[in-house]
Amino acid sequence: MLISSKNHWDAIIVGSGPNGLAAAIHLAQNGLKVLVIEAANDVGGGLRSAELTLPGFIHDPCATVHALAVNSPFLSSLPLANYGLRWVYAPYSVAHPLNDGRALTISRSIKETAAGLGRDGNAYQRLMTPLVHSANHLLSDFLGPFPLPPRHPLAAARFAPLALLPAAWMARLAFRTPPARALFAGMAAHAILPLDLPATAAFSLVLHMLAHTSGFPLAQGGSARLAGALGEHLQRLGGEIRTGWQINHMDELPPARLILLDLTPREVLRIVGDRLPAHYRQSLSRYRYGPGIFKVDWALDAPIPWKADNARRALTIHLGGTFEEIAHAERAVWNGKSPAPPFVILVQPTPFDPHRAPPGKHIAWAYAHVPHGSREDYLAAIEDQIERFAPGFQARILARHTFTASDMQAYNPNYVGGDINSGAQTLTQLFTRPVFSLNPYRTPLKGVYLCSASTPPGGGVHGMAGYHAARAALKEFAARTKK
């Protein structure tokens, strides 16, 4: 992609992850001349696809499952189907294999999901039904800076007391049986936090809610299709994109009235740190990153041979066995220790999207949460955990590709230490990232804004950090152009 001959821009966005592209689109929708600059050779940030293992096997190095994207108030409003984006769904969004050979599953139906929970079925329905009915209101309130007061106070009043609890407490209060508690813990562990920390219950509740409202979809053919659709829509609006351009300092940018940085605080300090006031630099330097991940992609000659047949019809598989095992693994990682065994999140796309592999072949990926910045190889531990619930899995492997936590940072500098959420999503840092401010997107520099996952609402492919940053920037742009 080539830069135009224009020598002036209304806005420049540095970084083309989903938040950077969302910010650029919203600015372009409002008539601004927009340029997106990306250091890599293609757009997308965490939305990329590549033949990591063998020719014809299309893997997503980062995000694959897009429940937040289809529920994002901004991304869902865009005509992305016009650019060939198609969503693919599995019968079950999640399966959680148990030690006895069964697997619990989560489908769009609350009733069907509850039926698999035995004595805890009624409790599950009582918990999830009001949340699902309020899903749109809850997402509009919580996918952004914390609203004071909430725009939908009744929905927030029902959700907040549950969401603020530690997941460990919530699992024990809501459910009596070990399988139901394990299912809740597996969803909560996506927070990449110890399950006894406040507000970790929110992650499980929201993911369960999304599974019942929309399900967990794939972008047909790979996550790069979503990035490509966003990029094409931006260009249709008149925006431009330049890839392969590494920015090392603000002075290297063309003139622009607004600068939006789809960068984590560490990268912000690298590029503009010498211009920031000391107090703001110190705040950014104190920003806390969480544990990393060790990720494996596989090319397979057949589907994964799960013991539990219903796990073969699920997109995402949580491999942790019991609540206690998952909680122990997440606490160990938070404390900088190797989990033994690790909690593993696995995604198997090709039973539902055969476009990603040659005929009759399959792909899968999995990751384990590991200590921040770890260079340790967890391949054997991950494959052992899969074999535990799918004997014969390793015999079906044609090729592997691995990312250590440090490799993840090299692949995407926003993943500091392998932290794919671009910052620990603790209660104290969820709505105050990267600094405590009523406008967390605005920096002390005139016209310079932050729009990455290191701002509210944090990690995930939703584009809402970019959207909110663009809205804040537009206010300044309007005020300056009136003068």
Summarize pLDDT for 19-46 with one digit per residue, the tens: 999 999 999 999 999 999 999 999 999 9
What are the tens digits of pLDDT across the range 133-152? 998 888 887 787 766 667 77
Asked: is 87-217+290-411 a CATH 3.30.70 domain? The reply is no
Which two structure tokens, joined as six digits, stand for 252?
A: 């290297």
Which two structure tokens, joined as six digits, stand for 81?
A: 């189907």
Least confident of 159-168, 315-324, 336-345, 428-437: 428-437
What are the tens digits of pLDDT across the range 395-428? 999 999 999 999 999 999 999 999 999 999 998 8
Task: Break the chain into its structural domains and give their ranges.
Answer: 9-49+220-287+426-482, 87-217+290-411
Backbone angle region of 132, left / alpha / beta, with phi > 0 → left and psi within -120 to 50 → alpha: alpha
Of the candidates 318, 327, 26, the residue with the CA atom closest to the CA atom of residue 172: 327
Instruction: Please state the rounded mean pLDDT for residues 425-445.
Output: 90
The Cα-based distances of 470 to 61, 166, 238, 467 in angstroms read 27, 33, 16, 5
- CATH of the domain spanning 9-49+220-287+426-482, picked from 3.40.228.10, 3.50.50.60, 3.40.50.11540, 3.30.9.10: 3.50.50.60
CB atoms within 10 A of CB 232: 16
CA distance 229 to 232: 5
CB atoms within 10 A of CB 282: 11
In this model, does residue 71 exceed pLDDT 90? yes
What is the residue-averaged pLDDT of the chain? 94
Strands (E), 21-111: 34-37, 87-88, 92-97, 103-106
Bridge partner list, 240:
35
Strand order from edge to edge, sheet including 256-261:
240-242, 34-37, 9-14, 256-261, 448-450
The confidence score (pLDDT) of residue 283 equals 94
What are the tens digits of pLDDT across the range 207-217? 999 999 999 99
Cis before 73 (ω within 30): no
SS (H, E, C) 231-248: HHHHHHCCCEEECCCCCC
Of the candidates 226, 303, 311, the residue with the CA atom closest to the CA atom of residue 18: 226
The confidence score (pLDDT) of residue 3 equals 33
The Cα-based distances of 423 to 243, 284, 435 in angstroms read 25, 11, 12
Least confident of 5-14, 281-290, 355-364, 412-421: 5-14
Amino acid at 317: I
Confidence of residue 5 (pLDDT cuts 50, 70, 90): very low
The confidence score (pLDDT) of residue 6 equals 47
Of residues 68 and 160, more confidence is placed in 68
Contacts of 473 (CB under 8 A, 6+ apart): 11, 23, 27, 258, 260, 441, 447, 449
- Do 87-217+290-411 and 9-49+220-287+426-482 have the same topology in CATH? no
In this model, does residue 86 exceed pLDDT 70? yes
Instruction: Please state the rounded mean pLDDT for residues 451-458.
Output: 94
pTM (two decimals): 0.94
Strands (E), 23-81: 34-37
CA distance 340 to 386: 14
User: Could you tell me what percent of the chain has a pLDDT over 90?
Assistant: 88
Percent of the chain that is helix, strand, coil (3-state, to 5): 40, 15, 40
CB atoms within 10 A of CB 100: 9
CA distance 265 to 177: 42
What are the tens digits of pLDDT across the range 245-254? 999 999 999 9
